[in-house]
Chain A
Amino acid sequence: MVKATFLNRFILYFYLMNESELIKKAQAGDFEAFSALVNASKNKIYALALKMTANPQDAEDIVQDTFLKAIDNIEQFRGESAFGTWLYSIALNQARAHLAKQKQTDLKPIEDYLPARSAEELHREGVVHLFDWKDPHQKLEDEQLRTIIDNAIAELPAKYREAFLLRYIEELSIKEISKIINESVASTKSRVLRARLALRDHISKALEDKYGTEVS
Chain B
Amino acid sequence: MGRKCLDYINDLNDYLDGELDPSLCEEIEKHIGHCENCRIMVDTMKQTVTLCREGKPEKLPAALEDKLGGILKARWEKKFGK
Contact = CB atoms under 8 A, between A and B. Distances in A.
B11 to A, nearest CB: 9
B35 to A, nearest CB: 5
A197 B76 CA distance: 44
Contact of A68 (B13, B38, B69, B75): B75
A9 interface: no
Nearest to B78: A71
B32 to A, nearest CB: 10
B22 interface: no
B72 A168 contact: no
A119 B31 contact: yes
Nearest to A164: B52
9 contacts: A31-B77, A38-B72, A71-B72, A119-B38, A120-B4, A130-B37, A193-B12, A196-B45, A200-B48
Which range holds the interface residue count of chain B?
35 or more
A113 B5 CA distance: 11
Interface string A149-173: 1000100000000001000110000
B60 A43 contact: yes
Interface of A: 29, 31, 34-35, 38, 42-43, 46-47, 50, 56, 60, 63-64, 67-68, 71-72, 110-111, 113-115, 118-120, 122-123, 128-133, 136, 145-146, 149, 153, 164, 168-169, 189-190, 192-193, 196-197, 199-200, 203-204
Given A149-B52, A204-B44, 13 more contacts: A31-B72, A31-B73, A46-B58, A47-B57, A47-B58, A67-B68, A111-B9, A114-B37, A119-B5, A146-B54, A149-B51, A196-B13, A200-B45
Contact of A169 (B31, B52, B79): B52
B10 interface: yes
A64 B44 contact: no
Contacts of A119: 2, 4-5, 31, 35, 37-38
A46 B60 contact: yes
B71 to A, nearest CB: 6
A153 B75 CA distance: 34
A104 B10 CA distance: 24
A68 B36 CA distance: 52
Interface in B3-30: 4-6, 9-10, 12-13
Contact of B37 (A46, A128, A145): A128
A206 to B, nearest CB: 11
B76 to A, nearest CB: 5
B37 A168 contact: no
A52 B26 CA distance: 36
Given A47-B57, A114-B6, A128-B37, A63 B64 contact: yes
